[in-house]
Structure 1
Amino acid sequence: MAKTNRWIWVMAMVVLLIGTLSGGAWYADKKNSLTGAVVVYPQARPLTTFTLTDGDDEPFTEQNFADHWSLVFVGYTFCPDICPTTLSDLSRIYPELTALSDKVQVVFVSADPARDTPERLKAYTEYFNPNFIAVTADHEQLMPAVQQLGLIYGIFDREDANYLVDHSASIALVNPKGELHASFRPDFDEETEMPLVDGPELVKNFSSILARWRG
Structure 2
Amino acid sequence: MKMDGWPLSWQTTGAEQMKGVSGLAIILVLALAGGITAAQWPEYQTMQVLRQDGVVLFPQALPVSDFAFVDENGAPFVKQDLQGKNVLMFFGYTWCPDICPTTLMDLSRTWKRLPEAVKQQWAVVLVSIDPARDRPENLAPYMHYFNPDFKALTGNPDALQTLAAELNAIYHRVERDDGAYLMDHSANLALLSKDGDYLGYIEPPHNASRMVALIKALSQ
Q: TM-score, normalised by structure 2?
A: 0.77
SS at match of 1:13: coil
CA distance in 2, matches of 1:5, 1:174: 22
1:133-180: CA deviations, max 9, x gaps?
A: 011122111100112122121112178554211111111111111111
2:125/2:150 contact within 8 Å kept: yes
1:154/1:166 contact within 8 Å kept: yes
Q: Which of these residues, 121, 126, 139, is aligned with residue 144 of structure 2?
A: 126
Check 1:171–1:41 CA distance in 2 against 1; reply closer, same or farther (3 A cut). Answer: same
1:65/1:175 contact within 8 Å kept: no
Q: Which runs of 5+ in 2 are unaligned?
A: 2-8, 28-36, 45-49
Give the share of equivalent positions with the same residue, in percent. Answer: 36
> Where in structure 1 do 4 or more consecutive aligned residues deviate above 6 Å?
none
Question: Is 2:202 the partner of 1:176?
Answer: no
Number of aligned positions between the proteins: 192
Check 1:161–1:132 CA distance in 2 against 1; reply closer, same or farther (3 A cut). Answer: farther
SS at match of 1:4: coil
Q: Which of these residues, 114, 126, 147, is aligned with residue 132 of structure 2?
A: 114
SS at match of 1:210: coil
CA distance in 2, matches of 1:78, 1:115: 9
Specify the code of the residue in structure 2 equivalent to 1:153. Y
SS at match of 1:183: strand
Shift of 1:106: 0.8
In structure 1, what is the equivalent of residue 32 of structure 2? none
CA RMSD of aligned residues (A): 2.5
In structure 2, what is the equivalent of residue 13 of structure 1? 16
Check 1:87–1:57 CA distance in 2 against 1; reply closer, same or farther (3 A cut). Answer: same
Question: Is 2:22 the partner of 1:4?
Answer: no
SS at match of 2:66: coil
In structure 2, what is the equivalent of residue 81 of structure 1? 98
CA distance in 1, matches of 2:125, 2:179: 26
Q: Which of these residues, 37, 40, 43, is aligned with residue 60 of structure 2?
A: 43
SS at match of 1:205: helix
In structure 1, what is the equivalent of residue 5 of structure 2? none
